[in-house]
Amino acid sequence: MFPYKDENPTLSVPVVTYLLIAANVIVWVVVQGMGSSPMLEASVCRYGLIPGRLFGTIEPGSIVRLAEDVSCRVGRFPAWATMISSMFLHGGWLHLIGNMWFLWIFGNNVEDSTGKFRFLLFYFLCGIAAAAVQSFAVAGSRVPMVGASGAISGVMGGYIVLYPRVRVHLLIFLGIFITTVAVPAYFMLGYWFLLQLASSFLVVSEESGGIAFLAHAGGFVGGMLLVLFLRNRELVGRRMAHHLPGWGAPRHRWP
């Protein structure tokens, strides 16, 4: 299933969502050389999150293996700061495009209900929560973690709390056939979360690469909780009044 739009118009320009997408693209081009070697490998080892380094078992200057015939040297960028810098790094074009697409579909509406500053804070806290969950699970790992998907998972978690019944339009791939369907957000996002959670039990290993499913699940739950504190009730009320005529209108009482 791949979402391509939702039935959830915004009331304001999603400035922060635009800026986050732009920042990710700029880092991909300037810091990671659009995936070219050796810039890609160097960026991952300098600014990616390595759990073993975060917990002090891997020192700067150590050699880590990224693939069977690819390795790089760990940089001296502060280990704690890599929890943030790793959010703006990606492993390939599809990784970047997929993450930015999900951020665009779901981020603009969450921003619309939190406000600009709160959404930026929400985004970073979700990313840190996702990184922390994955790091604690594989505390001795030498494998760098990169990608905005932990933070974006948090955005999706916030979305399911704020807009559970909004219809999301999906592309469904059935072999060579492609069809479309519209489902409530709670169905699509709930299914996605369960898939991440189930997958995390199958692949959690300190030396395995691939997708950090536990980071996705951790970010999603973090987003569900954080949005309860960071949503702006006035903005939420304004959205409801705009999209549901009569919302908030005085109610008549029977004598």
Residue reference for tokens 């709930």: 190
224 pLDDT more than 80: yes
Which tens digit of pLDDT belongs to each residue from 164-202?
999 999 999 887 888 999 999 999 999 999 999 888 777
- If pLDDT is split at 50, 70 and 90, which confidence band does 208 have? low
CA atoms within 13 A on the CB side of 74: 23
Residue environment code for 98-118, b if the CB has 16+ CB neighbours within 10 A, otherwise e: bbbebbbbbbbbbbbbbbeeb
To the nearest 10 degrees (0 to 180), the angle between helices 93-114 and 233-243 is 90
In a domain, 114, yes or no: yes
36 pLDDT more than 70: yes
In a domain, 174, yes or no: yes
Domain encompassing residue 45: 2-243
Per DSSP, which regions of the chain are E strands?
Answer: 2-6, 63-67, 70-73, 167-174, 177-184
**Mean predicted confidence (pLDDT) in 199-213:** 67
Could you give the number of structural domains in the chain? Answer: 1
pLDDT at 165: 93
In a domain, 252, yes or no: no
The model's pTM is 0.90
**β-bridge mates for residue 67, sequence order:** 70
pLDDT at 71: 80
In a domain, 251, yes or no: no
pLDDT at 245: 43
In a domain, 147, yes or no: yes
Averaged pLDDT of the chain = 88
Looking up residue 172, the CATH number of its domain turns out to be 1.20.1540.10
Question: Which one, of 248, 229, 251, lies nearest residue 240 by Cα?
Answer: 248
Which tens digit of pLDDT belongs to each residue from 117-163?
999 999 999 999 999 999 998 888 888 999 999 999 999 999 999 99
Question: Which one, of 101, 88, 125, lies nearest residue 227 by Cα?
Answer: 125
